[in-house]
A and B are shown apart, each in its own frame.
Chain A
């Protein structure tokens, strides 16, 4: 069993393996998360990246900003590509090496879902990371199956009418040894989860809430505050699932109404008519309440 309180796991790492000079927007949650992940994983890591914002802002020829090996091919196949890297390392008797397959919610929840399920089921030694910014941001803020109820995107102009797909639970139900969620405001927790995952042999899934100022309609300086509110409202539960058992659930210290979270973001502006919340806000509160009950937040 992994000692989650050990000094090594809890140290915040700063190695600049995902170096400055990339082209993300100011306040980008995904860029911050990718840096934390790379620094936590360390030099002995291969980053497989799906097409999307991360790939675009970090890997233009001839000046990518990665200081670890980077491999990109397509949008929907990053988990299968990482499976291939894993198979090659086994076959060539090389390694051990950390293999991280990463992408946004579009490549994870939608178009790459089958490939991820296959990688989990086959049991590859790969850490799958989803940088969840709740829509297709790279193509201009279109709805994904991680877009929350009520959120406006360019393809849900009246607000999204469906609820978010619950991938952490779906991942855990594949019987994989480690699943966790995290947010980009808590460096220590996020990096501890990356390090914990990489100590485990087999498929792992880490789901990181990564606000997108452009798509969510908030200023770049609010990325951290919004993450904290996502947790304090119960809209984004933070937990680990180790060998199928939900554990280390982050308790809410001071519960906040969802309204506080929603009012900071342009994508929810239509839910307040002249400042008064419409009915959908109550449904979003209900989603938060259900999370609080389900995960005992």
Chain B
């Protein structure tokens, strides 16, 4: 049923329909509306789950770790500093192959303190062994959670659903909320494999010495790579069931005969598509490649789509300080070394700490790249704020 909802509530309602057994979270802006709504649903008896209020994100992640290891479908949500505080547990959850689902309401990282949107938080845990899916709008954010539980429980990999803080979490949009029976048909009950249970005593979380550690990490890496297929299949099955495209590895827009392709993740794709339509009327052929699955990074799919595209422009909301764009690096790595083509990849770090990315900002980036490709630019940087002595 189509409902006019805040992004957070689209997520909380679909998460509730996924019937998690244990929910644990610690409040942090802009994630709060998701947990508040889930707490209400549990409190009112509309969701049969244990809701555990904890004293930190570190414990929230640890509670869902313990719950998942005991056979529960477990869910948590956080952002920014909260995700960083969870970091140690985040790695552990993946290493222990616990199919937990986490919503990251993407937000900037301190210092300076900033509660607004960018994607630095989920980027900092990109190497942890989680599947990371990025939503473009509130419909996709809601849909991805249904897919996330299925992907996680099929692959025994944790899944992080990333949605831009405020831009999506606090924005009202019509969202098609499914019927409970549709969700039940799409998402079968969780069948855990290795759990702590006195009936079958086993050790979970043993330590591995140098004879075994590397193999465990190799298997985890291969599992992430193999999960590409599952992400794709689940998205296709979702499209068949619900009649709309959500998730998958990547999406494209007007890319076929584009001379320039913009590559991005998350909600800014909407503005970019508007720009592409504008430019089209001006006779310019620009396309969009939108990464939905950032981890695993669909290298082969990206290559397949961009093989003949020589001019690429990456818009990304995070930075590896001292190195440059992170998504840009992933895109560069997608092309085989043997390929001798003279491909230009321009990287724009954009929208850090909630800086608005306007259609005109994006237009200026396109115009800049049309003249000459750039290595790294900060889109919309205000030079008036930067003194000579700061540099």
Chain A residues within CB distance 8 Å of chain B: 43-46, 48, 55-56, 59-62, 64, 66-74, 76-77, 80-92, 94, 97, 114-115, 117-118, 121-122
A interface footprint on B49-75 (CB within 8 Å = 1, 0 otherwise): 110111110111011111111111010
Asked whether, in the complex, the Cβ of B21 is within 8 Å of the Cβ of A118, the reply is: no
Asked whether, in the complex, the Cβ of B198 is within 8 Å of the Cβ of A88, the reply is: no
Pairs A–B under 8 Å by Cβ, sample size 13: A59-B207, A60-B206, A60-B209, A64-B203, A70-B203, A73-B65, A81-B63, A84-B69, A85-B196, A94-B71, A114-B55, A117-B55, A118-B55
Contact count band on B: 35 or more
A interface footprint on B20-61 (CB within 8 Å = 1, 0 otherwise): 011010000000000000000000000011101111101110
- Quote the shortest CB–CB distance from A159 to chain B (angstroms): 33
Distance between Cα atoms of A67 and B198 in the complex (Å) = 9
Note all chain B residues with C-beta closer than 8 A to A122: 52-54
Asked whether, in the complex, the Cβ of B52 is within 8 Å of the Cβ of A83, the reply is: yes
Asked whether, in the complex, the Cβ of B22 is within 8 Å of the Cβ of A87, the reply is: yes
Asked whether, in the complex, the Cβ of B63 is within 8 Å of the Cβ of A71, the reply is: no
Within residues 250 to 293 of chain B, which ones have a CB less than 8 A from any CB in chain A? none
In the complex, whether B197 has a CB less than 8 A from a CB of chain A is yes
- Quote the shortest CB–CB distance from B39 to chain A (angstroms): 14
- Quote the shortest CB–CB distance from B69 to chain A (angstroms): 6
Select which of B66, B68, B212 is within 8 A of A83 by beta carbon: B66
4 tightest A-B contacts by CB?
A: A84-B66, A80-B62, A88-B70, A72-B205
In the complex, whether B15 has a CB less than 8 A from a CB of chain A is no
- Quote the shortest CB–CB distance from A294 to chain B (angstroms): 30
Note all chain B residues with C-beta closer than 8 A to A55: 207
Select which of A68, A69, A80, A97 is within 8 A of B54 by beta carbon: A80
Asked whether, in the complex, the Cβ of B69 is within 8 Å of the Cβ of A97, the reply is: no
Distance between Cα atoms of A45 and B198 in the complex (Å) = 6
Select which of B24, B48, B197, B203 is within 8 A of A87 by beta carbon: B24
Asked whether, in the complex, the Cβ of A71 is within 8 Å of the Cβ of B62, the reply is: no
In the complex, whether B183 has a CB less than 8 A from a CB of chain A is no
In the complex, whether B187 has a CB less than 8 A from a CB of chain A is no
- Quote the shortest CB–CB distance from A100 to chain B (angstroms): 12
Select which of B66, B197, B203 is within 8 A of A80 by beta carbon: B66
Note all chain A residues with C-beta closer than 8 A to B59: 77, 80, 83, 114-115, 118
Select which of A56, A61, A71, A121 is within 8 A of B66 by beta carbon: A71
Asked whether, in the complex, the Cβ of B22 is within 8 Å of the Cβ of A91, the reply is: yes
Note all chain A residues with C-beta closer than 8 A to B22: 84, 87-88, 91
Asked whether, in the complex, the Cβ of B206 is within 8 Å of the Cβ of A92, the reply is: no
Distance between Cα atoms of A68 and B207 in the complex (Å) = 17
Asked whether, in the complex, the Cβ of B52 is within 8 Å of the Cβ of A59, the reply is: no
Q: Given that A88-B21, A91-B21 are contacting pairs, would A77 and B67 also be in contact in the complex, using a CB cutoff of 8 Å?
A: no
Note all chain A residues with C-beta closer than 8 A to B201: 43, 66-70
Note all chain B residues with C-beta closer than 8 A to A71: 66, 69, 196, 203-205
Asked whether, in the complex, the Cβ of A66 is within 8 Å of the Cβ of B203, the reply is: yes
Q: Given that A70-B203, A87-B67 are contacting pairs, would A77 and B53 also be in contact in the complex, using a CB cutoff of 8 Å?
A: no
- Quote the shortest CB–CB distance from A242 to chain B (angstroms): 26
In the complex, whether B92 has a CB less than 8 A from a CB of chain A is yes
Asked whether, in the complex, the Cβ of A60 is within 8 Å of the Cβ of B72, the reply is: no
Distance between Cα atoms of A72 and B206 in the complex (Å) = 7
Distance between Cα atoms of A50 and B88 in the complex (Å) = 14
Note all chain A residues with C-beta closer than 8 A to B71: 88, 92, 94
Distance between Cα atoms of A73 and B58 in the complex (Å) = 12
Note all chain A residues with C-beta closer than 8 A to B111: none
In the complex, whether B89 has a CB less than 8 A from a CB of chain A is yes
Asked whether, in the complex, the Cβ of A72 is within 8 Å of the Cβ of B70, the reply is: no
Select which of B58, B202, B204 is within 8 A of A77 by beta carbon: B58
Note all chain A residues with C-beta closer than 8 A to B306: none
Asked whether, in the complex, the Cβ of A84 is within 8 Å of the Cβ of B198, the reply is: no
In the complex, whether B208 has a CB less than 8 A from a CB of chain A is yes
In the complex, whether B374 has a CB less than 8 A from a CB of chain A is no
- Quote the shortest CB–CB distance from A42 to chain B (angstroms): 9
In the complex, whether B331 has a CB less than 8 A from a CB of chain A is no
Q: Given that A69-B197, A77-B62 are contacting pairs, would A84 and B68 also be in contact in the complex, using a CB cutoff of 8 Å?
A: yes
In the complex, whether B96 has a CB less than 8 A from a CB of chain A is yes
Asked whether, in the complex, the Cβ of A90 is within 8 Å of the Cβ of B92, the reply is: no
What residue of chain B has the Cβ atom nearest to residue A48's Cβ? B66
Asked whether, in the complex, the Cβ of A59 is within 8 Å of the Cβ of B67, the reply is: no
Asked whether, in the complex, the Cβ of B212 is within 8 Å of the Cβ of A61, the reply is: yes
What residue of chain A has the Cβ atom nearest to residue B73's Cβ? A91
- Quote the shortest CB–CB distance from B192 to chain A (angstroms): 10
Distance between Cα atoms of A84 and B60 in the complex (Å) = 9
Note all chain A residues with C-beta closer than 8 A to B50: 87-88, 90-91
Asked whether, in the complex, the Cβ of A87 is within 8 Å of the Cβ of B206, the reply is: no
What residue of chain B has the Cβ atom nearest to residue A51's Cβ? B207
Note all chain A residues with C-beta closer than 8 A to B53: 122
- Quote the shortest CB–CB distance from A60 to chain B (angstroms): 6
Note all chain A residues with C-beta closer than 8 A to B202: 69-70
Asked whether, in the complex, the Cβ of A89 is within 8 Å of the Cβ of B206, the reply is: no
Q: Which interface residue of A46, A60, A70, A81 has the most chain B CB atoms within 10 A?
A: A81
Note all chain A residues with C-beta closer than 8 A to B209: 60-61
